[in-house]
Structure 1
Amino acid sequence: MQVVEQYTTPYYKHILSLPPSSIRKLWKLNKITLVDVRTPEEYEDHHIPGSILMPLDYLDTLSKFLPDTDVAVICEHGNRALYATYGMPHIYKKRAIHMQYGMVGWMAMGYEVASGIDENGKKWMRLLDSVE
């Protein structure tokens, strides 16, 4: 049996889809920035420590504030992150990585989870105010 560990499309060479285990390895090595595209309520309930909240509805507007690093895009089940990477490829400065299975997959693996609104959960509102 062949196991596919990563997927990329020939149309967008700078976009990958990786499972939570690969995302976690890159995150632990400080090679990626985690961007959470869920709602503030979902982020407050549970999120990956250190991830930056940028709700999907505002991602296009806030994309100029994305770091100049590879970015892993996270949502609850992987669907919104899939849209945010493959549906909005123009917003990323470097490589964008869709985290397969979302937070559900991350938590099923028993990885780190935090709750509450931290500084990274409030940053998007200040950035949005500076755009207007």
Structure 2
Amino acid sequence: MQIIEQYSTPFYKNIVDLPPSMVRKLWKGNKIMILDIRTPQEYIEHHIPGSVLIPMDYLEVLSEYFSDKEVAVVCEHGNRARYATYGMPHLYKKRSIYMIGGMVGWMSMGYEVESGMDENGTKWEQWLDEKLK
């Protein structure tokens, strides 16, 4: 499989911008974790199956749970995800992927989505409770 990668800046070689089609190929091949940084309400409305919710406000506090993995960072339109990757590059030890277009781009391609809250949507609350004990 050929992966076309686009770097938005020469300063962060571990951050890559990819379209939803390439993110989906990596995700289907179990090569990346999809990190959803939207609010719980947005996650309930629709999310990528298997994505892990960590709301953007808690990324820094809970970074130990994803910093050692290759992640694709996803939000609704791509603005928060861009900030979470390029504005907080210290959170990712391995490659992080900014998914161009966010969930809107994903859904416009007709890719799979789920509704409702699941186990991956509540993990962040459990992790936060563990840290606060």
With normalisation by structure 1, the TM-score equals: 0.94
Residues 1:7 and 2:6 are matched in the alignment: yes
Alpha-carbon distance in structure 2 between the residues aligned to 1:131 and 1:99: 29
Alpha-carbon distance in structure 2 between the residues aligned to 1:67 and 1:24: 20
Secondary structure of the residue aligned to 2:59 is helix
Q: Which residue of 1 aligns with 2:85?
A: 85
Q: Which residue of 1 aligns with 2:52?
A: 52
Once the two structures are TM-superposed, the CA of residue 65 in structure 1 deviates from its matched residue by 1.1
After superposition, what is the alpha-carbon deviation per residue over 1:59-116, rounded to whole angstroms, capped at 9, x for unaligned?
0100011162210000000000000000000011200000000000000000000010
Q: Which residue of 2 aligns with 1:125?
A: 125
- Conserved in 2, the CA contact under 8 Å of 1:6 and 1:19? no
Q: Number of aligned residue pairs: give it.
A: 128
Alpha-carbon distance in structure 1 between the residues aligned to 2:69 and 2:128: 21
Note the residue ranges of structure 2 that are not aligned, 5 or more in a row.
none
Alpha-carbon distance in structure 2 between the residues aligned to 1:93 and 1:129: 24
Provide the identity percentage: 64
Question: What letter corresponds to residue 5 of structure 2 in structure 1?
Answer: Q
Secondary structure of the residue aligned to 2:27 is helix
RMSD: 0.9
With normalisation by structure 2, the TM-score equals: 0.93
- Conserved in 1, the CA contact under 8 Å of 2:16 and 2:98? yes
CA change 1:67–1:60 in 2 (3 A) is closer
Alpha-carbon distance in structure 2 between the residues aligned to 1:12 and 1:29: 25
Q: Segments of 4+ in structure 1 off by > 2 A?
A: none
Note the residue ranges of structure 1 that are not aligned, 5 or more in a row.
none
- Conserved in 1, the CA contact under 8 Å of 2:15 and 2:96? yes
